[in-house]
Chain A
Amino acid sequence: MGAQTQARATDPILLMKGITKVYPNGLVANSNVTFEVRKGEIHALVGENGAGKTTLMKVLFGLEKPDEGSIFIRGEEVKISSPNDAIRYGVGMVHQHFMLAPSLTVAENIVLGAEPRRGIWFDRRRAEQMCRELGEKYGLQVDPAARISDVPVGIRQRVEILKALMRGSDILVLDEPTAVLTPQETEELFEALKSLKEMGHTIIFISHKLREVKELSDRVTVLRSGRVIGTRNTDQVTVEEISRMMVGRDVVLRPMRPKAPAGPGEVKLLVNKLNLVRDGTHVLKDVSLQVRAGEILGVAGVEGNGQVELVEVITGLSPCDSGEVWVCGQDATGKSPGEIRDMGLSHIPQDRMIFGVASNASISENLISNRYNKAPVSNGFSLNLKAISRLSQELIGKFDIKTSSAQQAVGTLSGGNIQKVVIAREFSTGPQVIIANQPTRGIDIGATESVHKYLVEATESGTAVLLICADLNEVMSLSNRLIVMYEGQVVAYFDEVEGLTEEEIGLYMLGLKRQEPDQVTASMMGRPVE
């Protein structure tokens, strides 16, 4: 009996064998990947961005069709060509971007696809009751009647997990679930996952946060450039070893912030009492800050606490209700993005595929988008093709953009190279102020290091940098000074980053602690702002 249980515990509940997936643009996302998961374990799947983790899971969930390979679930070969098949085999997935319809309620989202009904009618009462019961069973309470658009991110993720559980999934895949969570929400999630494991569920946990992997998982499989590097028992491997497997070398994130300028530099970016109300919520509340020449001001905070709106208002992409923005001594409040750029502002946007590039246009065309009407690219009317070609070659070389030609469409490059195109464009106009919003999101370690280097280099020539970053470690290692945003407000200001701990800043990020608003403004601005 004991031996049998033993055997069953190590039985692979899932085996993906020899999976190869090539995308239409020629990108090889998975190359002969074999991945095995045992029943009842928490199995971490790690790798850098672009290593092929998400693609592998999409194949498992029937969202991508592999070009080669086979999948076995509970020892039987299965063909998964749609999420429906995956659900039937007990595979549930919690996606990185939540798969929820915002205008529908929690209950409607949870039962979607398996709605309780009376005849053809949707049985709302029964649906809400099902959700309550399910939530109690797994310790994941939710308000079934709330609209998704009204509940916080942590609850949305809970809804996603309940969705999978309601469909009887016993293999649960979570794709970078902690990326959008506060430390406290992360803690709650881990508790829930551990108790799910105790109830006999198998969990596949995709992440690149090695500390979390170490804390949570039983085994870990490492992917690199679409290939499996190896699978280890988590308790027999150190974080450094996993990291070496991921990148093939040691990674140390050491402080690399610019040398603090000798005296107080000139104020290049001044934001004074910005307020913005969107859909009835006060998304920016009396936000004031200033960035001086030669320094990086970091903005820490859990995503969705007003950072996006702050950047949009500063760069002219959206209007504000009150307050002012000054760039290099010029009033930029309510000006258009083009006018603000002309004052000397550059902007690395958070979502590079939406704002950063036109993916079907060539590298050249993307490189000139902030100077297409200025010399030498243009004489004010017509474009100077020779100058454009010269500029492209120069930037491709200087910023190490890996491409065969400047005419290649940007969309065919890798994520890191696309970001280099954005950086090359934004850094090469000699900007006075750089707004860098999540500049390293979704790119590999090599490209991340270059981005850090460019940011620090820019400050050496007197540029002021506003760095918005959800990764606390990163923002702390780069910033001279730091502010924390919570619910649209600046809740803390630190004149000195050296000596601060992540735990301490975490308290501010979660709204558990806050400095006096007047004190924040006064100590940052050096004087009370009238």
Chain B
Amino acid sequence: MSRNTWFELLRTGVAIAAALTIGFVVTSLVSESPVEAFGYFLKGPFTSIRRFGSFLEAAVPLTFTGLAVSLVFSAGQFNMGAEGQFFIGAVAATAAGVFLDLPPVIHTIVCLAAGMIAGAIGGFIPGVLKARWNASELVASLMLNYVFLKLGMYLITYHLRDPSAGALVSLPLKESSWLPQFTRTTKLHAGIFVMFLVVFLCYYFLYRTSRGYEARMTGQNLSFARYSGIPVLKVILLIQVLGGAVAGLGGAVEMLGIYRRFQWQASPGYGFDGVIIAILARNNPLLVPLAAVFLAYLRVGADVMAMYADVSAEMVSIIQAVIILLVTAEAFLAGYRHRLTLKEVKQRASAS
């Protein structure tokens, strides 16, 4: 393992430890029994099979948004749109699942494709605004999140709503569209295979194909990419569309595997968690599932804590924010790295 990899691991570890410490301090400020509350948080995901299952389930959508953000980050673009793409992908899959009448496997595939296309459109818009008009993809994708949230809620409310249900939920998806669940105790479902397939495809695309090479070089140094003859605008557009498709697919998988009827009133926040995951995974698709598992652990732990203790689940946002801030802080522990380098150089000098 190179010195650099080791150092990055160390830095991530220290950042997570620091974040958890701060999380505990904040917990102590609001809780009567902070140790107990924090115990629920840390041990929560392991306290029952159902919770362990829900912890793994939560890693699935997070992996999709993490991959979506990683793809786009790899090309040096900002993608804040995974949130809206995931949401609209779920809505599109719901529509396809409710309205279409198709044989089992085919129906599932069509629903997944619907989610992907919706998400891809969500990536195409900021992509084309950037590539054609040089408009900030950052602001564009953030605006689009709101547009998709409102558009999705409009479709659910006016066209997909289940009038017999008390709450604002969609009609149930036809069973032919479902991704099968493995057991009764947990909701773990066949979408996990789709997930692993997409993890592999994303990795293959980025590191083993010419297009992926184009994307990574565009991200590394845009001027260099242009000079080398890489069509950077096409690359930027392509990567935004791919990122959108992956996020949209994630939303579809979530609908077909877990909910089977649309019941969100607000965006579930997986897109922004995707940013954290991409940062932790250093945009490497193979590391994304690991980072997603970690984030899912935080989410489920926080839910368990909120259920059994007097601390609300939003505490976890503090931990997440500190992790982003410290992991991406170049100067964090840089002094330590410099001392290491200095020592090494001196050793080399005295040896020669």
CB contacts under 8 Å to B, within A55-112, are 67
Separation in Å of the B187 CB from the closest CB of chain A?
36
Q: A26-B341, A372-B214 are in contact. Are A381 and B209 (CB under 8 A)?
A: yes
Complex Cα spacing A26 to B342, Å: 7
Instruction: Mark the stretch among B190-198, B226-234, B240-248, B301-309 that contacts chain A.
Output: B226-234
Complex Cα spacing A283 to B263, Å: 61
Instruction: Identify the closest chain A residue to B204 (Cβ).
Output: A382
Would you call A361 and B227 a contact (CB within 8 A)? no
Give chain B residues whose Cβ lies under 8 Å from the Cβ of A499: none
Would you call A349 and B227 a contact (CB within 8 A)? yes
Complex Cα spacing A385 to B349, Å: 36
CB contacts under 8 Å to B, within A347-371, are 347, 349, 354-361, 365, 368-370
Of A336, A359, A365, which one neighbours B229 at CB under 8 angstroms?
A336
Would you call A359 and B221 a contact (CB within 8 A)? yes
Give chain B residues whose Cβ lies under 8 Å from the Cβ of A342: 229
Of B213, B223, B231, B341, which one neighbours A383 at CB under 8 angstroms?
B213
Tell whether B184 is near chain A: CB-to-CB under 8 Å.
no
Separation in Å of the A153 CB from the closest CB of chain B?
23
Complex Cα spacing A352 to B292, Å: 38
Of A315, A355, A365, which one neighbours B213 at CB under 8 angstroms?
A365
Tell whether A373 is near chain B: CB-to-CB under 8 Å.
yes
Instruction: Identify the closest chain A residue to B230 (Cβ).
Output: A338
Complex Cα spacing A385 to B208, Å: 8
Give chain B residues whose Cβ lies under 8 Å from the Cβ of A370: 228-229
Would you call A369 and B230 a contact (CB within 8 A)? yes
Q: How many residues of B contact A (CB 8 A)?
A: 28
26 A-B interface contacts by CB (under 8 A): A22-B342, A24-B334, A25-B341, A28-B349, A317-B227, A336-B231, A337-B228, A338-B229, A338-B230, A338-B231, A340-B229, A341-B229, A354-B224, A355-B223, A356-B224, A357-B221, A361-B220, A365-B213, A369-B228, A369-B229, A372-B214, A378-B209, A380-B210, A381-B210, A382-B208, A382-B209
Instruction: Count contacts between A and B, CB distance < 8 Å.
Output: 88
Would you call B210 and A383 a contact (CB within 8 A)? yes
Would you call A26 and B224 a contact (CB within 8 A)? no
Instruction: Identify the closest chain B residue to A316 (Cβ).
Output: B229
Tell whether B217 is near chain A: CB-to-CB under 8 Å.
yes
Tell whether B337 is near chain A: CB-to-CB under 8 Å.
yes
Complex Cα spacing A349 to B228, Å: 10
Q: A317-B227, A337-B229 are in contact. Are A383 and B208 (CB under 8 A)?
A: yes
Give chain B residues whose Cβ lies under 8 Å from the Cβ of A336: 229, 231
Give chain B residues whose Cβ lies under 8 Å from the Cβ of A315: 227
DSSP majority for the B interface? helix
A-B pairs, 3 with minimum CB distance? A338-B229, A358-B220, A369-B228
Interface residues of A (CB under 8 A from B): 22, 24-26, 28, 67, 315, 317, 336-342, 347, 349, 354-361, 365, 368-370, 372-373, 378, 380-383, 385
Give chain B residues whose Cβ lies under 8 Å from the Cβ of A354: 221, 223-224
Interface residues of B (CB under 8 A from A): 204, 208-211, 213-214, 216-217, 220-221, 223-231, 334, 337-338, 341-342, 344-345, 349
Separation in Å of the A369 CB from the closest CB of chain B?
4
Q: A341-B229, A355-B227, A357-B221 are in contact. Are A24 and B337 (CB under 8 A)?
A: yes
Known: A338-B230, A339-B229, A382-B209. 14 other contacts (CB 8 A): A25-B341, A26-B345, A67-B342, A337-B228, A338-B228, A347-B227, A354-B223, A355-B227, A356-B224, A358-B225, A369-B230, A382-B210, A383-B209, A383-B213
Separation in Å of the A48 CB from the closest CB of chain B?
21
Give chain A residues whose Cβ lies under 8 Å from the Cβ of B231: 336, 338
Q: A355-B224, A360-B220 are in contact. Are A378 and B210 (CB under 8 A)?
A: yes
Separation in Å of the A73 CB from the closest CB of chain B?
27
Give chain A residues whose Cβ lies under 8 Å from the Cβ of B337: 24
Instruction: Identify the closest chain A residue to B348 (Cβ).
Output: A26
Complex Cα spacing A446 to B24, Å: 59
Instruction: Identify the closest chain B residue to A384 (Cβ).
Output: B208
Would you call A361 and B216 a contact (CB within 8 A)? yes
Complex Cα spacing A341 to B225, Å: 13
Would you call B226 and A317 a contact (CB within 8 A)? yes
Give chain A residues whose Cβ lies under 8 Å from the Cβ of B213: 365, 368, 372, 383
Give chain B residues whose Cβ lies under 8 Å from the Cβ of A67: 342
Separation in Å of the B224 CB from the closest CB of chain A?
5
Give chain A residues whose Cβ lies under 8 Å from the Cβ of B216: 361, 365
Complex Cα spacing A479 to B213, Å: 37
Instruction: Identify the closest chain A residue to B221 (Cβ).
Output: A358
Complex Cα spacing A340 to B229, Å: 8
Would you call A337 and B226 a contact (CB within 8 A)? yes
Give chain A residues whose Cβ lies under 8 Å from the Cβ of B334: 24
Give chain B residues whose Cβ lies under 8 Å from the Cβ of A359: 220-221
